[in-house]
Structure 1
């Protein structure tokens, strides 16, 4: 039978009073890569497990699984859980996931950023340094196949119009069905985006700024996908979408990404460029031109100032060049 760990993340950005004055009891996974500072997750979770977590634990226990519930408040506490997924010691000394382990992980998520926080720690645990790249690593990847995870969404509303990543992937939201996927399901392999800031992207990123009234502001950057230059940085942009899945496929009523596929081994990128055109009567008007490209890697180089962005729902500011690249099939989810 399986040992199942139900992992919930606590975040420092909790609702006032949820964990005392100012949320002092809540930790969080924060990344600082030198060009931006972001905090993973946007909900505080107390030591008392949420109702969906308890329901999932009951369903697993009823099937004979040994269940452990953990609320992690730091990267170190996440790492302690992930260590249970390690495989046997290797001759080369690398820490490697167990490909035939009996321990399975369920990540209870209040946001896509929390799921990303766990995957980021998995990557940091198992990705070898370039100088220690083993011969059994696939040629098109920098890390091994990561252990599959089950996703237990904590916010039922995100399965509707707001559509979190679990909804996009068609993953179960009912705790009993999630438990069935963990015990009886199969892994569904998905692409992972790594970036040179040390983090990962599961869904996608949207770069751009808006004023206090919500109107998009112009900014400039060089955007390049493999050998294709979508813009060289001399013209204004309204938005840039970097898509692994489809969470940032549209901006208002504008379609940015045509067909993002989280399992096709490619990243889809789009930029929205306002272009001035003249009508037959000589009148000027602004038309939004969307340019798209697909490839293995993308780089964005801001030409001036800071460029705000959302990456898997996590806010940040880009101040220097950022590159994303695809790790095909690197992570996986349990599906029924």
Structure 2
């Protein structure tokens, strides 16, 4: 990650409010709109689906985009701008609203609606590194193999209130869960894997050594930080650590979680660090 640098903010904002944020926390959305509208000229867009979300960002013109939503909305915006080859010139702002906000918080964005909106108006641009894979996917915060289960949607979970007041429905749901494996509960998602992990062409671990987990995250000065946890037998095995600009993982078909999304299965994938590839508005120095 590069240092924070203050700069003159545009007073023309395009505020794109993710539909999930509107459904989950309408009060925080209202507060964010009020603060932003009081401090700048704003155009508010209320997309109903990912296609409308993409069109709103594409047609932003000279306005500075502000995403009101959770980590998935932030990742979606960065991915879209990257694939349009407009990410480097566009300073993105986000007001985190929703259940999953850990990524935005880890990048330095306040998770309170008022503080985040004020940072949009009075903050500074922070240039951040990005991991880009060979299918043009992006990673903002980190990737994990096997994928970490999404805490917002645990395997076997049912919708809140499903079966409330209907014991027969709960009984049927319980029976189905015992007979049908939960989606995502496959050996590839929870057991050891045999993978080759290469960092800048040097092999960190090979197929003959089972591993429990691999994690990759943007580090500092344009390198990725890699951690491999070998399968422990008896005493806990020490993690293998490396840093480099290119990371390749190959082997049996594997899935991986990149920020908020699980991808795969793939047999090989390469990630390259793009130093200072995108700008995010964060609170300025005081």
Whether the 8 Å contact between 1:85 and 1:147 is mirrored in structure 2 is no
Map of 1:150 onto structure 2: 93
Hey, what's the Cα distance between the residues in 1 that align with 2:18 and 2:254? 28
Task: Provide TM-score, normalisation by structure 2.
Answer: 0.73
Hey, what's the Cα distance between the residues in 2 that align with 1:206 and 1:83? 30
Counterpart among 105, 110, 124 of residue 83 in structure 2: 124
Structure 1 residues 225 and 6, CA, compared in 2 at 3 Å: closer, same or farther? Answer: same
Count of matched residue pairs: 238
Task: Provide TM-score, normalisation by structure 1.
Answer: 0.63
Matches within 5 A, 1:72-91: 72-75=48-51, 77-85=52-60
Higher relative helix content: 2
Q: CA RMSD in A?
A: 2.8
Unpaired segments of 5 or more residues in structure 1?
A: 11-42, 87-100, 128-143, 245-260, 277-284
2:246 paired with 1:287: no
Hey, what's the Cα distance between the residues in 1 that align with 2:42 and 2:60? 15
Q: CA deviation at 1:169?
A: 2.5
Q: CA deviation at 1:273?
A: 0.6
Map of 2:122 onto structure 1: 184
Counterpart among 138, 142, 163 of residue 200 in structure 1: 138
Matches within 5 A, 1:17-166: 43=20, 46=23, 50-75=26-51, 77-85=52-60, 101=62, 103-110=63-70, 112-126=71-85, 145-155=88-98, 164-166=102-104
2:275 paired with 1:328: yes
Structure 1 residues 329 and 85, CA, compared in 2 at 3 Å: closer, same or farther? Answer: farther
Unpaired segments of 5 or more residues in structure 2?
A: 1-9, 148-183
Hey, what's the Cα distance between the residues in 2 that align with 1:67 and 1:85? 9
Counterpart among 193, 210, 221 of residue 219 in structure 1: 193
Hey, what's the Cα distance between the residues in 2 that align with 1:72 and 1:330? 29
Map of 2:245 onto structure 1: 296
Map of 2:204 onto structure 1: 230
